[in-house]
């Protein structure tokens, strides 16, 4: 059960490196619980932080949080609430850089953790490019499964907006 317009998005890449079940649920628009405090805070941060330079740009499969320019190069910023899932955040940002690269735009990335007042540089290289290709194929495989992958208890379950669905 999947529709024709299913495509890999940055958000799915982020989920992919945390929990594959989330990928499936997200791809089927079964969204996480909005009453969940961390989802609520995440939405709020998106709407309120970095208001000055906020230029959220939507391209197919991408919702770029912040765009700026430094030394003649495009800088893509991705805002995250916490350092947990840092790898996921990096892969998501690399995915955007890779997509832009395919469109002929060379850019660098910057991960931002406003609550920790931290920023981290991310650049695309050959190894991450190969890893993203593998991830893209695997995400497609998951999206087309007829049922969601079974829930697994992992450390991210705590505070996850799907925990109640998974463990009810």
- Give contact residues for other proteins (rule: CB under 8 A): 1, 3, 28-31, 33-35, 37-38, 40-41, 44, 48-49, 146-148, 150, 163-165, 167-168
SS3 sequence, the chain? CCCCCCCCCHHHHHHHCCCHHHHHHHHCCCCCCCCCHHHHHHHHHHHHCCCCCEEEEEECCEEEEEEEEECCEEEEEEECCCCCCHHHHHHHHHHHHHHHHHCCCCEEEEEEEHHHCEEEEECCCHHHHHHHHHHHHHHHHHHCCCCCCCCCCCHHHCCCCCHHHHHC
Residue among 47 and 133 whose Cβ is closer to other proteins: 47
Residue among 39 and 122 whose Cβ is closer to other proteins: 39
Q: Minimum Å distance from CB 149 to other proteins?
A: 10
Q: Minimum Å distance from CB 34 to other proteins?
A: 7
Residue among 58 and 146 whose Cβ is closer to other proteins: 146
Residue among 126 and 147 whose Cβ is closer to other proteins: 147
Q: Minimum Å distance from CB 113 to other proteins?
A: 14
Q: Minimum Å distance from CB 71 to other proteins?
A: 31
């Amino acid at each position: 059960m999947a529709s024709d317009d299913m495509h890999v998005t940055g958000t799915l890449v982020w989920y992919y490196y945390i929990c594959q079940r989330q990928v499936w649920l997200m791809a089927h628009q079964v969204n996480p619980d909005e009453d969940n405090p961390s989802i609520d805070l995440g939405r709020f941060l998106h709407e309120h932080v970095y208001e000055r330079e906020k230029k959220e740009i939507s391209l197919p499969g991408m919702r770029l949080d912040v765009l700026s320019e430094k030394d003649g190069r495009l800088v893509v910023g991705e805002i995250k609430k916490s350092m947990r899932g840092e790898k996921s955040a990096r892969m998501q940002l690399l995915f955007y850089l890779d997509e832009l690269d395919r469109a002929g735009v060379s850019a660098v990335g910057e991960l931002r953790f406003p609550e920790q007042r931290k920023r981290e540089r991310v650049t695309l290289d050959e190894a991450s490019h190969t890893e993203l290709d593998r991830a893209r194929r695997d995400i497609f495989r998951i999206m087309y499964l007829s049922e969601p992958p079974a829930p697994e208890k992992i450390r991210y379950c705590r505070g996850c907006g799907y925990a109640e669905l998974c463990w009810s």
